[in-house]
Amino acid sequence: MNLWKLVQKLFGRGVKPLADFDPVRMIQERERWWGVDFDGTLVDWSLEHFGQPKVYKLTTGRQFTSIDVLHLLRKKRQIIVYSCRVNASQPEAERAAACSMMTSWLQKHHAPIDAIWGMRFKNGIWEFCADDVGKPVCAGYWCDLSYRADNAGTEQMIKESAV
């Protein structure tokens, strides 16, 4: 049974794929992507502004900034940064403003990323894309829900990235 037939069996025959939706390709391609949460992982969360990259202190005594961790992770995976600020429940203007602020912060700190959820890189600039809502499909996530964005979770991720 292929994946699409399984989806239809679970959710009913009325479910139809998007014209360009290929679930097998999606699953194969997601294996190379690692999702990184912005707020609380790369930077401390704030409504008004973003500060410096977050600092993680490991049990070995070493310290890494979130940008250092991205450089280590980037050696093994492609990175997509996402945020709950790009949520369908928020007005499009607010999502566009949040994406623009995230993009500016990432560029200012020379973050080694491949994509920003909610933005498209066209003609040398980042442009807002209203189609990206929710959380992107990835092989793994560095956030407060999977590889925890705390010292212990980050240390585990660094060890696995170094292998």
Handedness of CA 25, 29, 125, 100 (dihedral sign): positive
Residue 102 structure tokens: 């995230």
pLDDT confidence of residue 67: 92
Which spans in the chain are helix H? Answer: 3-11, 23-30, 66-74, 92-108, 151-162
Which domain range does residue 129 map to? 32-162
CATH of the domain at 73: 3.40.50
**Residues 6+ positions from 107 with CB-CB distance below 8 Å:** none
Strand-strand pairing, 63-65 and 55-57: antiparallel
Does residue 98 fall inside a structural domain? yes
Q: Is the pLDDT reported for residue 69 higher than 80? A: yes
pLDDT confidence of residue 161: 64
What Rg do the C-alpha atoms of the chain give, in angstroms? Answer: 17
Does residue 124 fall inside a structural domain? yes
Does residue 103 fall inside a structural domain? yes
Does residue 25 fall inside a structural domain? no
Does residue 12 fall inside a structural domain? no
Rounded Cα distance between 119 and 56, Å, is 27
Looking at the 3D structure of the chain, how many domains does it have?
1
> Are 47 and 79 in contact, with CB atoms under 8 Å apart?
no
Does residue 14 fall inside a structural domain? no
pLDDT confidence of residue 15: 47
